[in-house]
Structure 1
Amino acid sequence: MRWLPVLYVAGVLLLEPITPVEWPISFLLVALPLVTAFAHGPAVVAGASVFAVVFEGVLAGTPCCAGRSVGYLWDRHYVADYVCTALVGALGTILAAHRTRRERTLADVRFVAEIAQRVLLRPVPQRIGNLLVDSFYLSADAEARIGGDLYEAVPTAHGVRLLIGDVRGKGLLAVETAAALLGAFREAAHDESDLPTLADRVETSMNRRAEQLAGSEVGERFVTAVFAEIRADEHAVRVVNCGHPPPLRIRHGEVRELDSGRSAPPLNLGMLVGEPYPLDVYPFRPGDQLLLYTDGITETRDPDGAFYPLVERLRSWAPLPPQELLERLHHDLLAFSGNRLRDDTAALTACLLPGREADDEADDEEDVAVT
């Protein structure tokens, strides 16, 4: 784009000698300021405008151009062309100044969004004890950068605690709700000794926040979430599911949904049921990977309307470590959707590294779900 004005002038020069006299190609230079305004600032556009007027005069006053015997420097048609070019140049300069200001504003907004994303969704540690952890986030709106999907991994005295969530709705309210939930989780993860109590405390925080909000949709401002816990002293993963897509366990090419069918209501709706959060425990041995994700992934569609086949894709990527697995998932989602995501997407993965002693006997255990 920056070389477009030069190419435009070169095209005019090529056409001028080969066109008849009654076709004054130099008139095309009237568009040069606007062509320049696409990629350059107001100073360059003003310079291009002056150049266009002068160059039109040179072409009009040169008898040899297009086989002319005399020049037409001050012919009324050419004078009108000079005036039009000057006016277009003034408009192009104003347009370039406006575009430059908008680009600077957009750059500032993107910078603020990136800072907000780092505060809200700060990068998770890639190594926590004997776990490899990684995450990624894709916003459906490329300019927004952040939305209502969230994740977190917190090392605590009770083990590594993971969270993935999806706030209902969009916009600033969703971001504020995600920030409130993450703040409550980061604090309570260190204090509560078991996962159901942790989920209940986060639920209480969300209820308290909802009561402080005005509007008719207070009761609908809920969050689907999965809480997971992996302790260093046992080969198991504890899961509390609050209305969220179940996590996936990847083991030797096998991909299994960790779903006991006892999902609790989404956060901020638990008061409607009043029952304790069900806790499910599944075997999780060295080499296993746990994938937590939001429904933006499974609801991604291709141009024909087909949903993204997450489980089938993961079966072929199972040997990949967490970082490479999420990179492959990231690029595959964009390719599958034709770079047109309809919803925010987030994913968090944890891989248990082999310990000093292999628990070979546990390989034959059946998966169980206990309260």
Structure 2
Amino acid sequence: MNSFFFPKGKQMDLHVPKNFKLTIILSIILLIACIVASLAFGARVVSFQDILDGLSGKNEDSFGANIVRKRLSRTVFSLLCGAALGVSGALMQAITRNPLADPSILGVNTGASLFVVCGLAFFNISTANQYIWFALLGAALTAAFVFGIGSMGRGGATPIKLVLAGAATTAALSSLVTAILIPNSYAMDQFRFWQVGSVGSGTWDSITTFLPFLAIGILIAFISAPALNALALGDDVATGLGVRPGFLRLGGAIGGVVLCGAATALAGPIGFIGLMSTHVMRLILGPDVRFVIPMSAITGAIILTFSDVIGRLIASPGELEVGVVTAFIGAPILIILAKKSKVRSL
């Protein structure tokens, strides 16, 4: 397989992990289970027959089947956002060689949030397209700023420096968000439902708007995956293998920002999906990014959809926003990883 970032003839050989087939089978089974649960559970629980009727278009007068049809767009939206955040996390960990990298930890989500707030307060944005472009701009500028700060000083962009730069940037940008919202009641009303992160507002229109950005980000991820394996060996070794590290990092960052920014714009700043999904796949399959990236997409979709179902069940007949659930699960995992991790980079 040739890569735009990897000169022809210098690709690393593809060695399929011995447990890859079993992993993908189990992942697909879990994915299907999450889809069924997302369609079945909520303020009203529907039967399996209602799910079949809703998906097939039969029995249009059935109340349960109509509920399933309304939940279908939410479920698809959740799957796509989870996949985008999973791949974004895998890309950011690979290009920074930081096992703790994640869009929320590196401040990218907060940067997207700040620009969405500015759009609401000063430009009266209201459409999904407007949300996406403002979020992408904020995510891109924040990613560049964090990487620039983390690259200063001796040793360049080490994992711990990037995490600290991301934490400091997140704190500063969060303060700016609050400063803009306090005197602007309209922006605060619009923002307070968005900021906790939710897939409940997913519609077919938002899915259609999201798909091109998802396709671009995933395409960049797959193209860059072979070269990212070489980058894990260090810049000098990667250069010797024909990889252009600077160009590769730029391309990977663009892919990660597009995926994270678009998902954040439409669903809100949902954290820890990229961190959890990528770590699970790396523990099972090993460090080969060519397998970690596609499986992180599937795992991210599973985690986000499962978290959405949990939020609906816990607060039934209402719901607990999915961003709260993922933060509740992801924060202890981050603490455990930071405590047990003894490596300085991937």
Report the TM-score, using the length of structure 1 for normalisation. Answer: 0.26
Greater helix proportion: 2
More strand by share: 1
Which structure has the larger Rg over C-alpha atoms? Answer: 1
TM-score, length basis structure 2? 0.27
Which structure would you say has the larger RCO, counting Cα contacts within 8 Å and 6 or more residues apart?
2
